[in-house]
């Protein structure tokens, strides 16, 4: 025989289901406590004298794509204990079922708490809407603050490094418990005095993992002289990887020649490597074209080496012009500018232009105007 699902199995065991109403988008369940007595929250003494009943509406986990609303008939009890100042108190339930003054069940509140810890405010609120949990970002943050932080456990093995509040502007210090794999302190800056003050208050630390810089090494040596300092694995792997890639990159031509591979198969490259390889091919084609144009010019003023052409900025093109006796780039004449300026003293823009023409220096509209720019008379001789 098939088993039928009972509504009482969907609610916590301390309640009895009185009525169920199934609407189009919401399920409403009326509940009452299964116990006939309740304990005073002040002294813990039980009472069975019911004063009145109030309906508490609670949000619960969704069911079959519908919102679930629990209506709990919470009782108020008379209390006649001599030593307790309370005379009437509201019915209390187990904290694992329903917290005092709460508008949600404990199981729903726990899911909201985990969502807030994992995603934060607004992202968790958007994800909660997809799960049919009607909470706002402020509610998620309030739940996290209300539950508070777990008790601080003094660490024995820590990792210390800096972190960026705003890259290249503001930095702080991050301290992690490596045994529990969690952050335990965020210092407002990365000053040695701030980190030293925090480490001095934790004398039980015996291992400090840090980067290979000297700042945190000096701080740890002063604050924890008996602690062992080690280089953390991330910085070691990052430095070793960077050194290996640099060594391979500078010797790539020799490596290809040694293994007998003159060309690279782009199908074997990753997306990032393919972009670098295409840039390399483009640079090689450009350099080859520049060298061919330089040879075709032959030093003629109307050809590639004409002083009226924009000066090349790339390395191969500049070297090709130098090999063919062409004029250098204007930026390479910064040392000759004072001597040219002395020749143009007192003559203004006209004399300056004649001095440039005598030195065969091309004049372009985009040429940067420095201290001895066009039309400026230097003050010194």
Q: What is the pLDDT of residues 335-351, one digit of tens each?
A: 555 655 555 555 555 66
Higher pLDDT, 123 or 37: 123
What's the mean pLDDT when you consider all of the chain?
Answer: 78
Measured distance CA(37)–CA(47) in Å, rounded: 6
Helix/strand/coil percentages in the chain, nearest 5: 40, 20, 40
Q: If you write DSSP's letter for every residue of 295-310 in order, what string do you get? A: HHHTT-TTTTT-TTSP
The percent of residues in the chain predicted with pLDDT above 90, rounded, is 17
pLDDT for res 177: 93
Is a pLDDT exceeding 70 seen at residue 115? yes
Give helix 137-147 / helix 106-119 axis angle, nearest 10°.
Answer: 100
Higher pLDDT, 323 or 290: 290
Q: Is 161 in a helix, a strand, or coil? A: strand
Polymer length of the chain: 381
Other C-beta atoms closer than 10 Å to the C-beta of 18 total 11
- Are residues 210 and 234 in contact, defined by beta-carbon separation less than 8 angstroms? no
CATH fold for the domain made of 157-231: Nucleotidyltransferase; domain 5 (3.30.420)
Residue-wise pLDDT for 208-246, tens only, equals: 998 877 788 999 999 999 999 998 888 888 888 889 988
pLDDT for res 169: 87
pLDDT for res 126: 92
Measured distance CA(16)–CA(117) in Å, rounded: 33
CA angle at residue 229 from 225 to 234, to 5 degrees?
155
- Are residues 162 and 171 in contact, defined by beta-carbon separation less than 8 angstroms? yes
pLDDT for res 328: 52
State the average pLDDT over residues 77-97: 80
State the average pLDDT over residues 347-365: 56
Q: Is 123 in a helix, a strand, or coil? A: helix
* 68 class by beta-carbon count within 10 Å (0-12 exposed, 13-18 middle, 19+ buried): buried
Please indicate, yes or no, whether the overall pTM of this predicted structure exceeds 0.85: no
pLDDT band at residue 127 under the 50/70/90 scheme: very high
pLDDT band at residue 175 under the 50/70/90 scheme: very high
Alpha-helical regions (H) of the chain: 106-119, 122-130, 137-147, 192-200, 215-223, 233-250, 252-259, 271-297, 315-323, 337-343, 348-358
Most confident of the ranges 44-58, 254-268, 290-304: 44-58
User: Which of 71, 30, 61, 63 has the alpha carbon at shortest distance from 134?
Assistant: 61
pLDDT band at residue 354 under the 50/70/90 scheme: low
- Are residues 61 and 108 in contact, defined by beta-carbon separation less than 8 angstroms? yes
CA angle at residue 97 from 91 to 102, to 5 degrees?
65
Residue-wise pLDDT for 148-173, tens only, equals: 777 888 999 999 998 888 888 899 99
Q: What is the number of alpha carbons within 13 Å of residue 15 lying toward its C-beta? A: 25
Quick one: tokens of 157?
A: 């093995």
φ and ψ at residue 52, rounded to 5 degrees: -165, 175
Measured distance CA(270)–CA(126) in Å, rounded: 35
């Amino acid at each position: 025989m098939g088993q039928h699902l009972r509504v009482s199995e969907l609610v916590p065991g301390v309640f009895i289901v009185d009525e169920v109403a199934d609407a189009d988008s919401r399920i409403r369940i009326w509940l009452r406590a299964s116990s006939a007595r309740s304990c005073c929250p002040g002294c813990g003494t039980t009472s069975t004298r019911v004063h009145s009943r109030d309906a508490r509406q609670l949000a619960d986990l969704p069911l079959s794509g519908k919102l679930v609303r629990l209506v709990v008939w919470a009782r108020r009890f008379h209390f006649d204990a001599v030593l307790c100042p309370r005379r009437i108190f509201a019915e209390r339930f187990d904290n694992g079922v329903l917290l005092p003054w709460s508008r949600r069940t404990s199981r729903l509140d726990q899911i909201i708490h985990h969502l807030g810890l994992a995603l934060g405010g607004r992202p968790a609120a958007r994800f909660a809407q997809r799960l049919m949990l009607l909470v706002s970002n402020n509610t998620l943050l309030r739940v996290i603050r209300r539950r508070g932080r777990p008790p601080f456990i003094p660490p024995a093995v820590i990792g210390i490094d800096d972190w960026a509040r705003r890259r290249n502007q503001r930095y702080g210090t991050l301290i992690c418990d490596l045994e529990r794999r969690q952050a335990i302190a965020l210092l407002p800056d990365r000053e040695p005095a701030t980190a030293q003050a925090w480490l001095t208050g934790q004398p039980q630390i015996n291992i400090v993992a840090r980067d290979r810089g000297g700042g945190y090494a000096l701080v740890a040596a002063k604050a924890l002289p008996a602690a062992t300092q080690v280089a953390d694995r991330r910085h070691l792997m990052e430095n070793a990887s960077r050194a290996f890639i640099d060594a391979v990159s500078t010797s790539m031509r020799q490596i290809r020649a040694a293994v007998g591979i003159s060309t690279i198969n782009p199908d074997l490259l990753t997306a990032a490597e393919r972009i670098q390889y295409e840039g390399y091919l483009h640079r090689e084609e450009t350099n080859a074209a520049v060298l061919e144009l330089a040879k075709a010019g032959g030093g003629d003023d109307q050809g590639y080496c004409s002083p009226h052409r924009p000066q090349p900025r790339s390395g191969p093109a500049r070297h090709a012009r130098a090999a063919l006796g062409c004029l250098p780039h204007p930026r390479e004449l910064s040392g000759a500018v004072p001597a040219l300026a002395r020749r143009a003293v007192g003559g203004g823009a006209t004399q300056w232009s004649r001095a440039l023409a005598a030195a065969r220096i091309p004049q372009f509209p985009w040429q940067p105007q420095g201290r001895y720019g066009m039309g400026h008379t230097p003050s010194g001789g």
